[in-house]
Amino acid sequence: MKKRPFLGAFFCLMKSGMDFIADSRYIIKMESKSKLLCALFSYCLVCVPALAEEAVSEVPAVGEKKFYKTIGPNGEVIYTDKPVQNGKEINVPKASTYEPVPTPSFEASKPKPKKKPFEYEALVISKPAHEETIWSNEGKLDVNISLQPSLRNNHSIAVSVDGNRLKSGEGQSYQLSGIDPGEHQLKVEVVDSDGKVIKSQASTFFMRRHIIKR
């Protein structure tokens, strides 16, 4: 370890100065003592931090080596890591260690995708076929539908002819009657509890009656 004679000289200077001020054999005015004391403390405040930082930076890790203190020929204090004659071993306290607390990593929060509203994939009028001609003197019409996925709770099926709602329910088969001969517009709708139309499908059919000749 490199010797630091200036550090020992600094402490000797401080001690000598304090002894000089306190020694009653020297006749010094109180005002002069105060000025000298202020000068010593000012020097201490300016120089000690720099000296301490420089000295500590060269000190090996505690626990690896032993340190010794001795007085040089000129009265300076010398610190070394090698055993010397008349050297005094120094008990260096174990250096405190600090382990930083691991900072939790926060992943960038991704906005949650908005939940897509429920939709029926398919609503098909399987009977009657589009533009099919129905023969019935009573004007009867059988309506069959298919729905994917199945009908949900609070939903229902409404069957209309030419804008007039004739049947409603939760099944997939309905029978209408009293339909006049001619071209008609059939519409099937899925509605919720408030009557809002969720999905619809329309078709055209023709109603005919048999004519009996006498």
Q: What is the CATH number of the domain that holds 168?
A: 2.60.40.10
- Residue 70 pLDDT greater than 50, yes or no: yes
Nearest to 173 by CA among 144, 146, 151: 144
| Residue 106 included in any domain | no
Expressed as residue numbers, the domain containing 72 is 5-90
Q: What is the pLDDT of residue 32?
A: 55
| Residue 28 included in any domain | yes
Please report, as a single letter, which amino acid is at residue 46: V
| Residue 100 included in any domain | no
- Rounded to the nearest integer, the mean pLDDT of the chain is 77
Q: How far apart are CA 175 and CA 27, in angstroms?
A: 131
Q: Are residues 75 and 137 in the same domain?
A: no
Task: List CB contacts of 79: < 8 A, sequence separation 6 or more.
Answer: 1, 3, 4, 7, 8, 55, 67, 68, 69, 90
Tens-digit pLDDT profile for residues 4-13:
554 555 555 5
How many angstroms separate the Cα of 198 from the Cα of each of 93, 185, 186?
80, 19, 17
Of the pLDDT bands very low, low, confident and very high (cuts 50, 70, 90), residue 15 is: low
Dig out the tokens for 20 from the structure: 């000089």
| Residue 81 included in any domain | yes
Q: Are residues 43 and 86 in the same domain?
A: yes
| Residue 116 included in any domain | no
| Residue 111 included in any domain | no
- Residue 31 pLDDT greater than 80, yes or no: no
Q: Are residues 197 and 140 in the same domain?
A: yes
Q: What is the pLDDT of residue 56?
A: 47
Which of 43, 71, 90 terminates a domain? The answer is: 90
Our count of domains for the chain comes to 2
| Residue 98 included in any domain | no
